[in-house]
Amino acid sequence: MSLRKGSKVWVEDRDLAWVAAEVVDFVGKQVQVITASGKKVRASAEKVPPRDPDAEDHGGVDDMTKLTYLNEPGVLYNLERRYALNDIYTYTGSILIAVNPFTKLPHLYNVHMMEQYKGAQFGVLSPHVFAVADASYRAMMNEGRSQSILVSGESGAGKTETTKLIMQYLTYVGGRAAGDDRTVEQQVLESNPLLEAFGNAKTVRNDNSSRFGKFVEIQFDANGRISGAAIRTYLLERSRVVQITDPERNYHCFYQLCASGRDAEKYKLGNPDNFHYLNQSKSYELEGVSNAEEYLKTRRAMDIVGISHDDQEAIFRTLAAILHLGNVEFSPGKEHDSSVLKSQKSTFHIQMAADLFMCDVDLLRATLCTRTIQTREGDIIKALDCNAAVSSRDALAKTVYAKLFDWLVEKVNRSVGQDLNSRVQIGVLDIYGFECFKQNSFEQFCINFANEKLQQHFNEHVFKMEQEEYSKEEINWSYIEFIDNQDVLDLIEKKPIGIIALLDEACMFPKSTHKTFSTKLFQNLRTHLRLEKAKFSETDFTISHYAGKVTYQTDTFLDKNRDYVVVEHCNLLSSSKCPFVAGLFPSMPEESSRSSYKFSSVASRFKQQLQALMETLNSTEPHYIRCVKPNSLNRPQKFENQSILHQLRCGGVLEAVRISLAGYPTRRNYSEFVDRFGLLVPELMDGSFDERTTTEKILQKLKLENFQLGKTKVFLRAGQIGVLDSKRAEVLDSAAKRIQGRFRTFIARKDFVLIRAAAFALQAYCRGCHARNIYVAKREAAAALILQKYVRRWLLRNVYMQLYSASVLLQSCIRGFSNRQRFLHQKKHRAATLIQAHWRMCKVRSIYRNRQTSIIAIQCRWRQKLAKRELRRLRQEANEAGFLRLAKNKLEKQLEDLTWRLQLEKKLRVSNEEAKSMEISKLKKALETLNLELDAAKLVTVNECNKNAVLQNQLDLSCKEKSALQRELIGMAELRKENAFLKNSLESLEKKNSELALELVKSQKDRNDTLEKLQEVERKCFQFQQNLQSLEEKLSSLEDENHVLRQKALTPSPKSNRPGFVKSFSEKYTGPLALTQSDRKPGFESPTPTKLIAPVSITLSESRRSKFAIERHQENHEFLSSCIQADLGFKEGKPVAACIIYKCLLHWRAFESDRTAIFDHIIEGINEVLKVGDENIALPYWLSNASALLCLLQRNLRSNGFLTTISQRSAGSSGVTARVAQSLKSPFKYIGFDDSMSHVEARYPAILFKQQLTACVEKIFGLIRDNLKKEISPLLGSCIQDYKCCGEQHPCHILDSDDSPLKQCHGDTIYLESVDYNCLETMVDNCLSRHEWAPKPVRHAGKLARSPGGGLPQQSQSSQWDSIIKFLDSLMDRLRGNHMIE
């Protein structure tokens, strides 16, 4: 077919299978189309089948062969359109397609409808299942040949209902022989619940799927009357009895029996999940189905069929025995490859099975666990292992159920009644359709094999129908090819290398597995085109069926194909005491066999049954009904395209379409063809004409070939109708364009003439209206001016008078309201002031009490801490026995002090209680006063109400005057507002009264809490006394330890102060405050208090510090760090940094604190500055600041006697500090503090900080001294060496005095001790002038005092002494700049 823009086509869609589209463009060999949803798609021209544009105007066609374009999407959407109109039946030639409506349509199946189709020609009326049934009946009667109706489809498609309708119609047209009460249809339908209970089960797609094929033969006599019927079944799924998968179920009868109530109890049954054959799947119930009710229906069906009560009991007893048999489990026995019952539970179930079968339990156990092999020498009993025993158990269960199902079918046939003399019959085949799941096993293989057979029969029938159609029209059809699937059937059933033959061969060998079967299958059939190997499995295989490819899993093929008939099982059950069970297993003839096994292939038996069925169908005239399930949810008016398309492929409908497409798929009557395409040749349509001749001329003019002209129809090849439609669309488009052009011209001219005439009339009318409007407007404007003048004057006067009266009234009201508000405000202010005073008094009192309790607790902890410190000091000082006595006396004094404090606390508690009682009395008095004020406010409110009444009377008297009445009414409104305000104030006072009462309760609770805290303090004091007594007892036992500790603590510093000897920096700090050799750090670091003493335990108050306190301490540390790192200089000769540090420590009460890290922070900051800064600048600066801070500490810190020993020990190490302080002139005056400064009682950290600061000053002084020695020693050494060479007196002899800065000279090295820098420069000048070391001036040129060689030493000595003087000058300048000297 040639496509053009605007052509209607179908395009493939992933979700909807096919969607309608329209061609919009051509891109190379591809076609660009736009779908109905607006989506643009590109596809090749071969993959876009044409669409009939006129199909949307009607509800579809009743026969697919009438479609203009017979293709897959056309068939699908024709079914959808008809299904939407509840037209569920559609023909495809002679094939009927029935779509399950999932709702009742009673108007389609009543007697009136059957009467219409009775005797009607096939195809004349609308498609219907009655039409197919009537056609089969008429063909049987006219031709005398048996007919068959093949109803196929997947589970849930409505096959069973269609079968019922066919039998209903045949019963209607065929009648029944005289004397029969029930019709065949009634008898077959009454047996249907019985067969469904024992042959139907839940599958993945259907809750009531038939797991067997059913062929119902309705037999007729020579007069066309129904004479009998028979039901034949095929391939019952026996493996489902012992093996199911989730979410499927076993056969319905088992679940019905478990829900039967008394019968279940009688057979020891219960919940289905207790039985192995049922609990392999977790699905036990069906939605909307009651197992108990279905059990009653099954019982009723058995009664109708004619099964006696005893046989019914035997049937359900047999079902119960099968369930109990499935719960028998085996475990390995003592002998090799033997098995025994696993547990007591298995023993119970096998006993129940034997009782229900009415056989010997030991014999039943033996038949399951052993096998008897017959030999010439005798019988050999072979033990079975656990797996073989389980297989034997399952084989027995399957055999019993299969025999039971065959017995039921035979019973139904006897009940219905068969006519063995009938020559013609109509068979209705209800068999499962093609199946393709995610997991396909042996059952799907057999089902699809049967469908392949039926499809071959279907193809032959369709091809035959095509031949009949062509022969009827007398056209040539010899070149039409027939599509056959014989190669697939050969692959499955051909011997000796077909799949069934290879499967039977594998089952014959006991050690064969599915892997060996798959290997052999692929080896023998590797080159077959229809067989493929699965991609992701070594054992799975794929067969290309007519409906598509299906992959089969071979894991259970061998187990499900084996159907052993065990002689012991048959002999056991044939000897049963139950006649029913014994009748299922008649006595077997004796056969000479070495084994008790008789292998029977399920696939081979099914092939034989299928062959017999095909022979039956081949002997009849077939009619086909394809049932389609529209959706998987079983809901009406829901059409799932993908699912239905798959069913059409599986049902062979599309295969029939392909057969039609291979020939002449498009067929039209000559009259229809000429009416539709006669416009292509208009010259032939004039006058009378022959339709066949005109059709031939039309096709010849369009140059179409390979068409055929029959008697009444024209037959076209696939695609030729598309060419005709394309040409017809072109002719119609050109004609439509020409007509549209002419019509638009006529309409445009007509509109123009009408519009012009209307415009003239409208303009004249508009001009007249406009002139009249102008005149009226001018006249109204003149009148309006006059009216406005008088109205404005009147309105302004009224407004003025109203404003005047309102302002007077408003002023009087405002003045009264403001006075009342002022009075109320003053009254509230006085009340609020009184309440605030009481509340503040109460709040301050509670805060005071809380602080008092906290202070008492802190004091207790602090005294405890001081006592512990005193104990440590006593241990250090406890050197003699006298010390212990002194300690004891002190402890006694402290005990007395504590008892006195305890009494004092008790007195304070009593006084607090009295104060609280007084406060409570005051609060009560305040409450009484508030109540009095409340009463007074109520009286005021009453008075105001009285006043309101008086005012009301006055208003009544003064109602004569209008203005006075208005003023009084406004006053009344204001008084009411005031009343409301007074009521609100009264309510607020009551609320405040309640709040005060609540505060009183809270104060009482606080008093109780304070009493509890005081009791807790008493307990702590008592514990403290006990601790003191225990410490006193331990003093004597710790005497030796105290002696050792005291010696270590009081070891004096080994520093020597001999004149002329200078220690190194590391030796100056070997005292008690110095670090060990391993803890020393290089550089300017000095020891800190945290490095010298053990950390003090965190006190109770420190553990309860708030976050605010921690942040405040952090800010303090940062402030001191900035002061230490910055060079703040001096103000009025005072070191600013030292003053700030001291003031901050004094303000923060750091000297009185038992535990603080601020001192460590200061020392570390000074050390850090000394490390980083320039020595020439930092050392003098910090010598001044540290000395000043140390002087302030020595002057203002006062020890409490607790650390006197430590201070005495540190006195020897502060010699340098004393000398520095002496070198300063009145240091305290220099800093700016006089003697009247108050002393601070220092705690242990403060004393330790002072010692550390002393060490820091000594270190700075030593560093300055070392730098001086480093610079001056080489210069002095060179000067001394020069004078030795000159033979003059050594300068140190002259300077060797007690106050000389040069104490000793040894060789070339000068050792400097602590010097007084104020007189150092003067002493050097004196030495130079006394010995005339400096060069002298020359008196006259002719007389030289010294030789040139003697002048060089004098010059070098002079330069060296100049360097010394220069260095000393710079050092003195730096010291003066830092105010160390004046």
pLDDT grade for 183, boundaries at 50, 70 and 90: low
How do strand 330-332 and strand 541-545 relate by DSSP bridges?
Answer: unpaired
Q: Is the dihedral of CA 136, 139, 141, 143 positive or negative?
A: negative
Q: What pLDDT does residue 1044 have?
A: 54
pTM listed for this prediction: 0.51
CA gap 600, 567 in Å, rounded: 13
Tens of pLDDT, residue by residue over 467-493, are: 667 777 777 765 455 567 888 888 999
The active-site residue out of 7, 160, 518, 853 is: 160
156 is catalytic: yes
Least confident of 82-91, 593-602, 1145-1154, 1166-1175: 593-602
The active-site residue out of 155, 339, 370, 1010 is: 155
Answer whether residue 1059 shows pLDDT above 50: no
The active-site residue out of 60, 74, 156, 651 is: 156
Answer whether residue 582 shows pLDDT above 50: yes
Q: What pLDDT does residue 355 have?
A: 93
Answer whether residue 1332 shows pLDDT above 60: no
Q: What pLDDT does residue 744 have?
A: 93
Answer whether residue 802 shows pLDDT above 80: yes
pLDDT grade for 1229, boundaries at 50, 70 and 90: very low
CA gap 870, 864 in Å, rounded: 10
Query: Among residues 508, 510, 514, which one has the least CA distance to residue 556?
Result: 514
pLDDT grade for 949, boundaries at 50, 70 and 90: confident
Q: What pLDDT does residue 1243 have?
A: 78
Q: What pLDDT does residue 687 have?
A: 60
1165 is catalytic: no
Q: What pLDDT does residue 589 have?
A: 58
433 is catalytic: yes
Place of tokens 């569920």: 88
Strand order in the sheet with 17-27: 8-13, 17-27, 30-35, 40-44
Least confident of 731-745, 1193-1207, 1288-1302: 1288-1302
* Bigger pLDDT: 173 vs 1312: 173
pLDDT grade for 1042, boundaries at 50, 70 and 90: low
Least confident of 95-104, 431-440, 961-970: 961-970
Q: What average pLDDT does this structure show over 923-945?
A: 85
CA 851 to chain centre: 53
Burial readout 538-551 (b: 16 or more C-beta within 10 A, e: otherwise)? ebbbbbbbbbeebb
Answer whether residue 940 shows pLDDT above 50: yes
435 is catalytic: yes
Q: What pLDDT does residue 1052 have?
A: 40
687 is catalytic: no
Q: What is the dihedral of CA 926, 932, 937, 938, to 10 degrees?
A: 140
Answer whether residue 1074 shows pLDDT above 50: no
Maximum Cα interatomic distance, the chain, rounded to a whole number of Å: 188
Place of tokens 């389980």: 390
pLDDT grade for 147, boundaries at 50, 70 and 90: very high
- What is the residue-averaged pLDDT of the chain? 78
Residue 844, burial from CB neighbour count under 10 angstroms (0-12, 13-18, 19+):
exposed
- CA 592 vs CA 318, 375, 378, 1351: distances in Å: 31, 9, 12, 154
- Contact yes or no for 1207/1247 (Cβ under 8 A): yes
* Bigger pLDDT: 1347 vs 883: 883
Q: Under the phi-then-psi rule, with left for phi > 0, alpha for psi from -120 to 50, and beta for the rest, what region is 634? A: left
Token couple for 188: 């077959």
Q: What pLDDT does residue 1316 have?
A: 45
Count other C-beta atoms under 10 Å from residue 998's C-beta: 10
Q: What pLDDT does residue 318 have?
A: 95
* Bigger pLDDT: 675 vs 370: 370
Answer whether residue 1293 shows pLDDT above 60: no
Q: What average pLDDT does this structure show over 18-30?
A: 87
The active-site residue out of 154, 185, 196, 435 is: 435
209 is catalytic: yes
Most confident range (mean pLDDT) of 349-353, 1030-1034, 1243-1247, 1362-1366 is: 349-353
Q: What average pLDDT does this structure show over 1074-1096?
A: 35
Q: What pLDDT does residue 1199 have?
A: 59
pLDDT grade for 274, boundaries at 50, 70 and 90: very high
CA 685 to chain centre: 75
Q: What pLDDT does residue 1116 have?
A: 78
* Bigger pLDDT: 20 vs 1063: 20
Q: Work out the percent of the chain whose per-residue pLDDT is above 90.
A: 21
Q: What average pLDDT does this structure show over 1187-1209?
A: 64
210 is catalytic: yes
Answer whether residue 785 shows pLDDT above 90: yes
pLDDT grade for 406, boundaries at 50, 70 and 90: very high
Q: Work out the percent of the chain whose per-residue pLDDT is above 70.
A: 79
Q: What pLDDT does residue 1036 have?
A: 59
Answer whether residue 1089 shows pLDDT above 70: no
Tens of pLDDT, residue by residue over 229-258, are: 888 887 788 888 998 888 889 999 999 999
Least confident of 213-217, 662-666, 791-795, 853-857: 662-666
Answer whether residue 777 shows pLDDT above 70: yes
Q: What pLDDT does residue 1300 have?
A: 42
CA 389 to chain centre: 50
Q: Under the phi-then-psi rule, with left for phi > 0, alpha for psi from -120 to 50, and beta for the rest, what region is 58? A: beta
| DSSP letter, residue 9 | E
Got the DSSP string for 645-694? HHHHHHTTHHHHHHHHHHS--EEEEHHHHHHHHGGGSGGGSSS---HHHH
206 is catalytic: yes
- Contact yes or no for 571/588 (Cβ under 8 A): yes
CA 652 to chain centre: 48
Answer whether residue 1320 shows pLDDT above 60: no
Answer whether residue 590 shows pLDDT above 70: no
Backbone angles phi, psi at 157, to 5 degrees: -85, -10
Tens of pLDDT, residue by residue over 858-876, are: 999 999 999 998 888 888 7
Q: How many helices (H) and strands (E) does the chain have?
A: 41, 31
Backbone angles phi, psi at 1022, to 5 degrees: -60, -45
Which pairs count as long-range contacts for 198-202, CB under 8 Å and 24+ apart, including other chains?
Answer: 198/251, 198/252, 198/253, 198/404, 198/405, 198/408, 199/233, 199/236, 199/251, 199/405, 200/251, 200/252, 201/237, 201/240, 201/248, 201/249, 201/250, 201/251, 201/252, 202/247, 202/248, 202/249, 202/283, 202/286
Q: What average pLDDT does this structure show over 1181-1187?
A: 85
| DSSP letter, residue 1203 | T
- Contact yes or no for 237/440 (Cβ under 8 A): no
Tens of pLDDT, residue by residue over 524-562, are: 888 888 899 888 888 899 999 887 889 999 988 888 887
- Angle value at C-alpha 834, between 828 and 835, nearest 5 degrees: 85
Answer whether residue 1073 shows pLDDT above 60: no
The active-site residue out of 210, 298, 448, 1187 is: 210
Q: What pLDDT does residue 879 have?
A: 63
Q: What pLDDT does residue 663 have?
A: 64
- Angle value at C-alpha 290, between 288 and 293, nearest 5 degrees: 135
The active-site residue out of 74, 228, 433, 498 is: 433
Count other C-beta atoms under 10 Å from residue 417's C-beta: 15
The active-site residue out of 35, 126, 206, 1116 is: 206
